[in-house]
Structure 1
Amino acid sequence: MAVESPGARRSRRRTVGVMGAAGAVTALGAIPPFLIGAQAVFVRAELGFDLTRLGVAVSAFFAAAAAAALAGGGLIDRIGARAGLVLAGLLVTGGGAAVVLLVHDWTSLVLCMLLLGLGNAACQVSSNLSVAQALPAHRRGLGFGVKQAAVPLAIMLAGLAVPTVGRIYSWRFSFGMTAVCGLLVVAVALLVRSPRRQRGARVAQGQDRAPLGPLLVAGLSITFASAAANFLGAYLASWADRSGLTPSQAGLLIAAGSGASIVVRIVLGHRADGRHGANLPVVAVQMFVGAGCLLGVSSGLPWAVVGFGFAAFAVGWSWPGLFLYAVARVGRDAPARASAIVQAGAFAGGAVGPIGFGLLVGTAGFRSAWWCAAGAFVVAGVLVLLARRGLVVDLVDRPPRIPLGYGGGRGTAARRTPEGAADTGDRKPTNP
């Protein structure tokens, strides 16, 4: 039996640490709107506003995150993951403390959610960069899977806040806890040595960036997909109630679906490390499956709501980690900027999805809203395939200046480009 060397043990511990830290930072940045939603009864009772204004407050969080991700992706590439995490921790701490100390009405809550949205963008983009740079190539897919599994975990933690700190202490107490966690992020980022940049990468000079056009198409695709997925998360319980399920059964369905999504995101990342690219087609298939699941949910039959609702969470909403991994790989010298464009699309979908489809529920009914959400998933899947085509064409026309990490495939299999185009050795990728 082979004995693991001290260097290998240190490398494994560092890999586990980076994955855990990225997941924790992701959950910390993502949790504020779910805390507001889960504790809405307490928040609305104290501040005195209706459900519509609650939706606006949540959307303000995602809108600020989308704008900050687009504007700040290049900044995080320049300053590095370590400084980005310090910035993220300070923003989360400031936003959480402001909720505890300064919120006294709906307007002040919205302003604090805007600040926390900025913190979320910094958390996501900085952790994306950390995973892309600090992990070995054969562990980055798993790293992004673990990172994005933290989002449904944040939903579960927010739900647990209701019977614990929210009821025993105050809904503000949970935001005080996020402020303390933000300080911990700052402390760890300052104390831990920053990961080394890829040799020869010169982001500031912009020598080798991924093509903007395909990345924008990818960002638009995730906007549609995120809008549909967030509508699922926000309204499935209400639809389940109308379909004959009890509130407890609906809650168990969402909890089980979130748990399955966590597992599938991690498994998909691990599998991505064992093959040579072709990740975006898998993402597109998941979105098409999500569309079919929403059509099944729209029937309103209790068994269909349970079965298709669970599958929609487990399969139709488990693509974010794989999507970000695929995009970060073709980010070349600027993985943070590349992933930020896609992350901004996800935030935009989170901002407009619940409100837009919610208005459709009020005007045309639930069934029409489910059909439109399914259509959004189909559009998203088609756009993903178009984005992939643009990325492959760019790799043919403009081979990377620095050889990319060609996935996590091991052994002597032929190398491939990040999204499946074969590399023949002369760095002239062709179609798979």
Structure 2
Amino acid sequence: MSATAADASPPEAPVGLTGLLAETLAVQCLGTTAILIVPALAPLIAPDLGVPTSMVGYQISLLYVAGMFASVIAGALVTRFGPCRISQTAMGLHATSCALASIPSLWSMLAATLVGGFAYGLINPSASDLLMRHSPPARRNLIFSFKQTGVPLGGVVAGLAGPQIALPFGWPAALLAVAGGCLVVAALSQIGRARLDSHRLRGQMRLFSLGALRLVVATPALRWIAASSFFFSSMQLCAITFLVVLLVEDLGFSLVEAGALLAAVQVGGAVGRVLWGQVADMVGDGLAVLFGIALVMAAASATIMFATPAWPPEITASLFIVLGLSAVGWNGVYLSEVARQAPAGLVSAVTGASMFFTFTGVVFGPVIFSEMHNATGTYVGSYGFLTALALAGALMVAINRWTRGA
């Protein structure tokens, strides 16, 4: 399959792992900031666009529809142009998306959402190609998890820097600042690009192929691990996307306080990703660790259903940080498991195909959560849905483990 031929090429000369991790981490961080800055500033942006804050769920879902398409063709793009070049392309597209979103228009926001979603769908397949080629197997869970800390770190930037820029200078200024950061990372990624992309194939390519998706669906172990990401990603994006409006509208937090707690939750997720990756490498059983993470998600979200403004802020904050530790901390172990279970030479294609399922969960989860909010009238009351998502994900991991005889 042309989309994956590069994965089967002979191994290149060793590449400095520190620099490679710095690059992939920066791309992941800025890409995540670019897609979370709008939800983080939803209480400011929504009135200017004349829409309710709950509409952010539909915006996020549409963004990941574009990401689903990108994930299907990402393997072919990585093969043809190289993983580093595709990472740079993602940064350029994210900068364009943020610039479009800074224009106070629903049509401009629609275009920004589609461009940003496509850009985000390119990040993980290209990073997995790089890290699988150049990381030692004994440390792979930790390395993938460290790179994935870019997701919560991007949330920290959105939650902390976003309001701090938006309140004095206006929310468009915050979006333009993120666009500038993406362009800086794209430019710096040019250093060493020729070496990192030396395995790319310069011939013709078949851009759109369903071969990797068919492989994931037809292989029981890959099918169930991909299915788990449907539930986990839906859980994660609902928890993060609606956190600020939940805290402001349901629990009486100020926008700055809510942004600070969003940042703390994302820090908890970053700590969790490194912690879970280290634990998975130590015990040599990523699936067992992933199952345990799902149970923590379920317990935390079930408890949040009963939160009220009368709760001490410290208790509320601690509970959401535990949620971040799990619901934002699962991805590194998951991606490492996908890479480990993928057939030899098919890592980038299988990663892209598995991300199709991941993005599908993100598409449907926030929409369903928005509808549940409309029905119940509160965000905390909708957390029963998140509890069910976490338990369903745990079931998928258990079936994967049983299927593989682990």
TM-score normalised by structure 1 residue count: 0.76
Q: 1:272 aligns with which of 280, 303, 311?
A: 280
- 2:222 is matched with which residue? 215
Unaligned 5+ runs, structure 2: 1-12, 201-206
* Larger helix percent: 2
- 1:168 is matched with which residue? 169
CA shift, 1:49, in A, is 4.1
Give the Cα separation in 1 of the matches to 2:198 and 2:47.
46
Query: Do 2:157 and 2:263's aligned partners in 1 also have CA atoms closer than 8 Å?
Result: no
Q: 1:346 aligns with which of 355, 358, 366?
A: 358
Partner SS for 2:191: helix
CA shift, 1:325, in A, is 0.7
Query: CA offsets per residue over residues 5-56 of structure 1, 9 Å max, x none?
Result: xxxxx97x81111111111111222222211122335544554444355443
Give the Cα separation in 1 of the matches to 2:60 and 2:251.
28
Partner SS for 1:254: helix
Give the Cα separation in 2 of the matches to 1:364 and 1:50.
16
Give the Cα separation in 2 of the matches to 1:311 and 1:120.
26
Distance 1:38 1:66, change over 3 A: same
Query: Do 2:96 and 2:179's aligned partners in 1 also have CA atoms closer than 8 Å?
Result: no
Query: Do 2:372 and 2:382's aligned partners in 1 also have CA atoms closer than 8 Å?
Result: yes
Partner SS for 2:87: helix
Q: 1:287 aligns with which of 279, 294, 304?
A: 294
Query: Do 2:287 and 2:397's aligned partners in 1 also have CA atoms closer than 8 Å?
Result: yes
One-letter amino acid of the counterpart of residue 176, structure 1: A
CA shift, 1:143, in A, is 1.6
Give the Cα separation in 1 of the matches to 2:274 and 2:198.
23
Q: 1:187 aligns with which of 183, 186, 190?
A: 190
Give the Cα separation in 2 of the matches to 1:339 and 1:308.
32
Query: CA offsets per residue over residues 180-210 of structure 1, 9 Å max, x none?
Result: 236426633645543769xxxxxx9x99x77
Query: Do 1:95 and 1:179's aligned partners in 2 also have CA atoms closer than 8 Å?
Result: no
CA shift, 1:120, in A, is 0.9
Query: Do 1:297 and 1:308's aligned partners in 2 also have CA atoms closer than 8 Å?
Result: yes
Q: Say whether 1:128 aligns with 2:141.
A: no
Give the Cα separation in 2 of the matches to 1:94 and 1:240.
30
CA shift, 1:245, in A, is 5.4
Q: Say whether 1:324 aligns with 2:316.
A: no
Q: How many residues align?
A: 373
Query: Do 2:88 and 2:189's aligned partners in 1 also have CA atoms closer than 8 Å?
Result: yes
Distance 1:327 1:43, change over 3 A: same
CA shift, 1:142, in A, is 1.8
Q: 2:238 aligns with which of 231, 245, 248?
A: 231
Q: Say whether 1:72 aligns with 2:83.
A: no
CA shift, 1:233, in A, is 1.9
CA shift, 1:369, in A, is 1.7
One-letter amino acid of the counterpart of residue 294, structure 1: S
Give the Cα separation in 1 of the matches to 2:358 and 2:189.
25
Max radius of gyration: which structure? 1
Unaligned 5+ runs, structure 1: 1-9, 198-203, 393-430
Query: Do 2:40 and 2:244's aligned partners in 1 also have CA atoms closer than 8 Å?
Result: no
Query: Do 1:96 and 1:176's aligned partners in 2 also have CA atoms closer than 8 Å?
Result: yes
Give the Cα separation in 2 of the matches to 1:251 and 1:52.
17
Calculate the aligned-residue CA RMSD, in Å: 3.2
Partner SS for 1:378: helix
Paired-residue identity, %: 19
Distance 1:311 1:94, change over 3 A: closer
Partner SS for 1:318: coil
